[in-house]
Homo-oligomer: A and B are copies of this chain.
Amino acid sequence: MTILLYDLVGTDRSRPFSPHCWKVAFALAHKGLAYESVPTPFTAVKGVEQGVCGTVPVIRDGERVVGDSFAIALYLEETYPDRPSLFGGEGGKAAARFIERWSQLTVHPFLGAAVLMDIHDRLDPADQAHFRTTREARFGKPIEEVPVGRDAGLDAFRAKLEPLRSMLSVQPFIGGETALFSDYIVASAFQWARVISPYPVLAADDPVAMWFERCLDLHSGLGRSVSAAA
């Protein structure tokens, strides 16, 4: 049975943008598993699969429902051990926890703030209201003010990527010669920005940008199945 992926969308149902959902899309493709994306606006998230998770991504694989992107990756690795590994062994699985935290704490805060209004502007009215309420509570200011400092912070953000950039002089992927879930974790943050906003978060000649392009090429260009935001 085809796996269902509940995938966050805005007004255009064909443009999923959640970084965490993209991690799962890449992971499913990596495992060679067919899946069907279930477009899910913000205000529908709570009701997904009777609300057992409360957030997306959620997958339904036959009788099994699994939420949380990392938990889904672990589920896929355990359930489909004969498919290409997402972690490359136990050491890679453990290290992916570090990379997930690095991405969430280093990459996400800037990107999330920089493209906040781009997200808002691409939502249905009911989702916009939900988004405004939850994000204004999180940021403590009107959402219009959140991306204001993005130009001033861009160089500092790019500098924070130096561990990844420096590593890329040794190997083409965080997974080594080929991509693993750790690559999808970080690439999905950049995919989030790419799909939702024309804001240029990376310089084109940045090795990080070139790595991201390689990630977009993977799995028959899965990442490019949604065009960059104009």
Contacts and interface: CB of A to CB of B under 8 A. Distances in A.
A80 B163 CA distance: 29
B94 A180 contact: yes
Contacts of A94: 88, 92, 171, 173-177, 180
Number of copies: 2
A75 interface: no
B98 A167 contact: yes
Interface in A57-95: 85, 87-95
B105 A182 contact: no
B95 A166 contact: no
Contacts of A93: 91, 176
Q: On chain A, which size bracket covers the interface?
A: 20 to 34
Interface string A144-169: 00000000000000000011101100
A227 to B, nearest CB: 30
Of listed A89, A162, A173, residue having the most chain B CB within 10 A: A89
A163 B95 contact: no
A11 interface: no
A170 interface: yes
10 contacts: A88-B89, A88-B91, A89-B89, A91-B92, A92-B95, A94-B173, A94-B177, A97-B167, A98-B182, A101-B166
Given A89-B90, A98-B164, 14 more contacts: A87-B89, A88-B91, A90-B92, A90-B176, A91-B91, A91-B175, A91-B180, A92-B94, A92-B95, A93-B176, A94-B180, A101-B162, A105-B163, A105-B166
